Structure 1
Amino acid sequence: MSLRSDRKEEHLALAQMFFHNHQKNSLDQMQLLRPALPETSVAKVDLRVKMFNKTLAAPFFINAMTGGSAKSKKINQELGKIAARENIALALGSASILVKEPEQFDSFYVARAANPDGVVIANLNPATPASVAAKIVNELEADALQIHLNVLQEIAMPEGDRDFYWLDNLMEIRQKVDKPIIIKEVGAGLDYGSILRLKKAGFTWFDVAGAGGTNFAEIENSRNPEDQSYLEEIGLPTVLAAKMAKLTNTNFIVSGGVRNPLDVFKGLVLGGKYVGISNGFLQLLEEGKLATAIPQWKEELRRLYALFGVEKTAECQNCGYYLDLPLLAAWQQIEQELGL
């Protein structure tokens, strides 16, 4: 097994080791305003959404996890089967390893083979050559491409990149790839200024991937002989990242610390078009529970829609909410800092 494949497997093991299902995050400081008279019925709730011209059964999806090793091949194959059966989208882990190790292709393609008609999203790093990015997207038969911005992870990674001039290459990829492109963080949160800059460059889809779930600085620090644990405190909470994204008037996905159907609903209330779940679903898969958990999440989400007087996903953002004082104070300071 190559060093890159070995690192993929190490990341999977560490993600499992550091996973905390009941970890508190900013979604706990977001309180929903519930109508006592919702005038709805669970039977009338319709969770279906359109995503990249395909109809899906629910607004939540399996977000990027892994690929490029023997274990990740098995994981992606199983995720593909579950995504097909439940008709939800599946985003693959970073396929950047294929630039130097094309023999790992099947560890990604197994997901499309298992889910030939569903939404499958490829994932690459922002330094991937544009022509290679286009080739990988085509060969994986992807419906869209995530490009992950993982500066914090790279800084914490002992062998990580130290050069982050990415915008010009991102624009080249946008010219070469004929599928929708999603600019995605990886657990440290997309900020207002970066979204605006990318929007000006022609990008229209974003995944805020805020702090509150998997902490890649923590994962990389566990592999680092130097103590850089202070990096683990850096990150924009998911709720604040989502509020920033909404202000930019772009299409955005909410992810980062989503643990249950209520978190999914909150992400939709914040204005997210869809909500992505990575490590939580990975752990359920490892426990052999994901295949039964997803239909249960659907049913619980239907009940939440009815509880809050909502029948369709697009109506979720009309629900009211307020923030607990610490998070509200942080948001007010951000507004002042940004001159909003």
Structure 2
Amino acid sequence: MSKRSERKEEHLALAQMFFNKKKSNSFDQMQLLRPALPETKVDLNSIQTSLFGKQVAAPFFINAMTGGSTKSLGINRALGEVARKTKIALALGSASILVKEKDQLESFDVAREANPDGIVIANVNPATPASSSKEIVEQLQADALQIHLNTVQEIAMPEGDRNFTWLENLQEIRQTVTVPVIIKEVGFGLDQATIHHLKNEGFTWFDVAGKGGTNFAEIENSRNQLDLSYLEELGLSTVISALMAQKEAVNFIVSGGVRNPLDVLKGLVLGGKAVGVANTFLQALTEHDQDYLLQMIKNWQQQLAALFAVYGVSEIKQVTKIKSYFDLPLKTEIEQLI
């Protein structure tokens, strides 16, 4: 197994080690105002939506996690099958490993084989050559391409990159691939200045991936002989980052610490076109099995439809009309930053 593949498997093990489903985050400080008389009914059709030109059964999806190793092959096959059976989108982990290790293609391609007609989103790092990015999109028949920005993770990673001059390559990738490009953080949140800059450069989709879920500085620090634990405190919360994206009037996905259907609803209220869920689903799969994750996602779909009814909305486009307010600590942050 190559060093890259070993790192992929280390990341999976450490994501499980540090997973805490009761961990609090900014969603807990965001409150929604509920009508006592909603005049609605629970209807699964109410949560259906479209994403990248295809219909999906729910506005939440399995966000980028893994690929490029033996263990990740089995995980991606299972995630592909679950995505097909629940009719939700699936984003794969970084496929940049394929630039130098083409033999790892199967560990990504199994997801598309398991879900031939659904939404599959590819993922690469910002230094991946545009030609390779195009090839990856074509090989996976991807409906969109995530490009992840992960400077904090790279600094914490013992073998991480130290050159973050990425914009020129980002532009080249956008101009080369024929599918929508999503600029994505990895758990430290996209800031408004970056969103604004990239919007002016022609990028139209973003995944805020805020602080509150998997902490890749924490994961990399456990692999590092140096003490860089101070990096674990960096980042913008998911709610703050989503509000910044909202202010820039761009298409954005809300992710980072999504633990339950109420978090999904809050992400939609913030204006997210969809809500990404990663480690919560990964641990359901690895700690239990594929059937457990399948039932969990079906339950989330039922519960999200129920929440729509509770909050008085009967279709996706009405969700942003739900009134929200914030607890004082988060409200103070919002007043300072936005």
Tell me if structure 1 keeps the 8 A contact 2:76–2:108. Answer: yes
The one-letter code matched in structure 2 to 1:318 is K
Q: Please give the alpha-carbon distance, in whole angstroms, between the structure 2 residues aligned to 1:81 and 1:44.
A: 21
**Which residue in 1 is equivalent to 2:5?**
5
**Which residue in 1 is equivalent to 2:255?**
255
* Percent pairwise identity: 64
Supply the RMSD in Å over aligned alpha carbons. 0.7
**Which residue in 2 is equivalent to 1:312?**
315
Q: Mean alpha-carbon deviation: is it higher for 40-49 or for 94-103?
A: 40-49
Tell me if structure 1 keeps the 8 A contact 2:156–2:231. Answer: yes
**Which residue in 1 is equivalent to 2:265?**
265
Tell me if structure 1 keeps the 8 A contact 2:88–2:119. Answer: yes
**Which residue in 1 is equivalent to 2:220?**
220
Question: Structure 1: which 5+ runs fail to align?
Answer: 336-340
- What's the CA shift string for 1:31-56, capped at 9, x where partnerless? 11111111111137511111111000
The one-letter code matched in structure 1 to 2:329 is P
Q: CA deviation at 1:314?
A: 1.6
- What's the CA shift string for 1:11-65, capped at 9, x where partnerless? 0000000000010000000011111111111137511111111000000000000
**Which residue in 2 is equivalent to 1:72?**
72
Tell me if structure 2 keeps the 8 A contact 1:44–1:311. Answer: no
Q: Please give the alpha-carbon distance, in whole angstroms, between the structure 2 residues aligned to 1:43 and 1:9.
A: 40
- What's the CA shift string for 1:120-147, capped at 9, x where partnerless? 0000000000011101100110000000
Matches within 5 A, 1:232-311: 232-286=232-286, 287-288=288-289, 289-311=292-314
The TM-score, its normalising length taken from structure 1, stands at 0.98
The TM-score, its normalising length taken from structure 2, stands at 0.98
Q: Does 1:329 align with 2:332?
A: yes
Aligned to 2:227, the other structure's residue is in SS state coil
Aligned to 2:146, the other structure's residue is in SS state strand
The one-letter code matched in structure 2 to 1:10 is E
Matches within 5 A, 1:90-101: 90-101=90-101
Tell me if structure 1 keeps the 8 A contact 2:44–2:301. Answer: no
Q: Please give the alpha-carbon distance, in whole angstroms, between the structure 1 residues aligned to 2:207 and 2:272.
A: 9
The one-letter code matched in structure 1 to 2:325 is Y
**Which residue in 2 is equivalent to 1:139?**
139
Q: Please give the alpha-carbon distance, in whole angstroms, between the structure 2 residues aligned to 1:266 and 1:201.
A: 29
**Which residue in 2 is equivalent to 1:148?**
148
Aligned to 2:47, the other structure's residue is in SS state coil
Aligned to 2:46, the other structure's residue is in SS state coil
Q: CA deviation at 1:188?
A: 0.2
Aligned to 1:133, the other structure's residue is in SS state helix
The one-letter code matched in structure 2 to 1:205 is W
Q: Please give the alpha-carbon distance, in whole angstroms, between the structure 1 residues aligned to 2:208 and 2:146.
A: 12
**Which residue in 2 is equivalent to 1:56?**
56
**Which residue in 2 is equivalent to 1:338?**
none
- What's the CA shift string for 1:183-241, capped at 9, x where partnerless? 00000000000001000110000000000000000000000000010000001000000
Residues 233 and 137 of structure 1: is their aligned pair in 2 closer, same or farther, counting only changes over 3 Å? same
Aligned to 2:88, the other structure's residue is in SS state coil
Aligned to 1:61, the other structure's residue is in SS state strand
The one-letter code matched in structure 1 to 2:139 is E
The one-letter code matched in structure 1 to 2:332 is A
Tell me if structure 2 keeps the 8 A contact 1:38–1:309. Answer: yes
Q: CA deviation at 1:313?
A: 1.3
- What's the CA shift string for 1:130-183, capped at 9, x where partnerless? 011101100110000000000110011011000000000000001100000000
Question: Structure 2: which 5+ runs fail to align?
Answer: none
Aligned to 2:187, the other structure's residue is in SS state coil
Tell me if structure 2 keeps the 8 A contact 1:45–1:305. Answer: no
Tell me if structure 2 keeps the 8 A contact 1:62–1:277. Answer: yes
Tell me if structure 2 keeps the 8 A contact 1:206–1:251. Answer: yes
**Which residue in 1 is equivalent to 2:86?**
86
Matches within 5 A, 1:164-243: 164-243=164-243
The one-letter code matched in structure 2 to 1:23 is K
**Which residue in 2 is equivalent to 1:117?**
117
Q: Please give the alpha-carbon distance, in whole angstroms, between the structure 2 residues aligned to 1:75 and 1:29.
A: 33
Deviation beyond 4 Å, 4+ runs, structure 1:
none
Tell me if structure 2 keeps the 8 A contact 1:45–1:310. Answer: no
The one-letter code matched in structure 2 to 1:198 is L
Tell me if structure 2 keeps the 8 A contact 1:123–1:145. Answer: yes
